[in-house]
């Protein structure tokens, strides 16, 4: 049981940490604390992506396993004279999941609690009530009576706002509910891959990475990859779970608990065929479950990784997750553990000869 508790504590610490794009420091510190015992060296790039290096064989192929530190959230843009806060979404939000949700504003003086508000339906026309409230008409209420009072509490334009949610293990203990699974689960996978390789011989140099600013255009992946110059890149992220009411298999095929997703196609990348085949062959050989996924409406850090320098064979391995880009999402612990297992087994097999063969397939 001790190990179970350690894992859940790490997942809680990672998801509780606050970090929208451009404000990842708190998350970076948590990831650093957990990954440091298994790394030979920890550095950052100029934007703040965390890069933990573990040498298996000096001069061996460089393998990058990257999650992203940032979560979708909001940024304060203005305070009106009555003390209400105007805000900008940072990352992709659907207006229907935002109203009446509790948020935390992180200021230089500390944290301030707020709630996302709008005009009540009681004062709207019957016609207006039928339409979703637009994000531009929402505001954040922190209980301030004036601009001056809000400013006294430390609130200023540019401050980050994050969803408030408590990490929860569901009645089915494999089901975990938390904010920011997108993409603290990827950070956890990177940590656990290095942990499982701690006393293992492997024929390469592994980089466990927490990229910044994925949700606003895969930005940190570009700078971190440029710094590392990997031979092979894995982006570990969340994917869509297609097992809730109303979703057809045509829209999303994956089911929670049926294994990590191997993304063959998304809006940012066509998966590298040689690497994809190598990963799935390894999974088949070891009976590690996996699912194929295509996400034409979204991308991962692999989209930036594969276009850096001369090009990097890359693959996205994702965890089927319900309700992403909202206040709370749900995933299955088995998928997380099987993703770690699969990536570790693949890394053990990635010697120079194999990497060269994969690259030119």
Question: Tokens at residue 314, please?
Answer: 């890359």
Among candidate residues 24, 214, 215, 293, the one labeled active-site is 214
Q: Is 285 a catalytic residue?
A: no
- Cα 100 to Cα 195: distance, rounded to the nearest angstrom: 40
Rounded to an integer, what distance in angstroms lies between the CA atom of residue 236 and that of residue 1? 26
Packing angle, helices 181-196 and 2-16, rounded to 10: 140
Q: Give the other-Cβ count within 10 Å of 33's Cβ.
A: 12
Both tokens assigned to 86: 């105007």
What residues contact residue 179 under an 8 Å CB cut-off, 6+ apart?
15, 71, 162, 163, 164, 165, 327, 328, 329
Q: Is-contact 305 230, C-beta < 8 A?
A: yes
Contact 178, 328 (CB under 8 A): yes
Q: Residue 73's CB: how many other CB atoms inside 10 A?
A: 25
CA dist 77 to 88, 90, 97, 103, 140, Å?
6, 11, 21, 15, 11
Which of 204, 268, 208, 257 has its CA nearest to residue 68? 208
> First-to-last CA distance in the chain?
44
Cα separation of 79 and 103, whole Å? Answer: 16
In whole angstroms, what is the distance from residue 219 CA to residue 144 CA?
Answer: 36
Gap between the Cα atoms of 173 and 250, Å rounded: 29
Q: What angle do CA 275, 298, 342 make, to 5 degrees?
A: 35
Indicate the burial class of 359 (C-beta count within 10 angstroms; 0-12, 13-18, 19 or more): middle
The catalytic site residues sit at 214
């Amino acid at each position: 049981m001790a190990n179970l508790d350690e894992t859940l504590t790490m997942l809680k610490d990672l998801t509780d940490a606050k970090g929208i794009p451009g404000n990842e420091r708190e998350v970076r510190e948590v990831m650093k604390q957990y990954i440091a015992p298994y790394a030979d060296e920890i550095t950052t790039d100029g934007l703040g992506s965390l890069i933990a290096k573990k040498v298996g064989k000096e001069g061996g192929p460089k393998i990058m396993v990257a999650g992203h530190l940032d979560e979708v959230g909001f940024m304060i843009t203005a305070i009106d004279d009555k003390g209400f806060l105007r805000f900008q979404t940072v990352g992709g939000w659907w207006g229907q999941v935002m109203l009446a949700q509790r948020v935390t504003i992180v200021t230089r003086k500390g944290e301030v609690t707020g709630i996302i508000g709008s005009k009540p339906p009681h004062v709207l026309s019957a016609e207006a009530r039928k339409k979703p409230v637009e994000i531009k008409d929402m505001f954040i209420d922190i209980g301030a009576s004036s601009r001056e009072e809000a400013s006294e509490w430390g609130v200023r334009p540019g401050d980050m706002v994050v969803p408030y949610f408590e990490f929860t293990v569901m009645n089915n203990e494999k089901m975990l509910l938390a904010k920011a699974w997108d993409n603290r689960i990827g950070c956890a996978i990177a940590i656990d891959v290095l942990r499982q390789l701690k006393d293992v011989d492997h024929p390469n140099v592994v980089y466990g990475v927490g990229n910044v600013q994925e949700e606003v255009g895969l930005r940190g992946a570009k700078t971190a990859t440029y710094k590392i110059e990997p031979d092979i890149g894995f982006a570990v992220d969340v994917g869509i779970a297609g097992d809730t009411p109303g979703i057809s298999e045509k829209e999303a095929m994956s089911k929670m608990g049926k294994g990590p997703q191997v993304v063959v196609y998304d809006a940012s990348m066509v998966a590298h065929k040689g690497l994809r085949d190598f990963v799935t062959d390894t999974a088949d050989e070891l009976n590690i479950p996996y699912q194929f996924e295509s996400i034409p409406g979204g991308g991962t850090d692999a989209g930036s990784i594969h276009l850096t320098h001369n090009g990097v064979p890359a693959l996205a391995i994702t965890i089927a997750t319900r309700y992403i880009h909202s206040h709370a999402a749900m995933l299955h612990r088995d998928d997380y553990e099987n993703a770690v297992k699969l990536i570790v087994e693949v890394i053990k097999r990635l010697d120079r000869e194999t990497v060269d063969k994969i690259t030119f397939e």
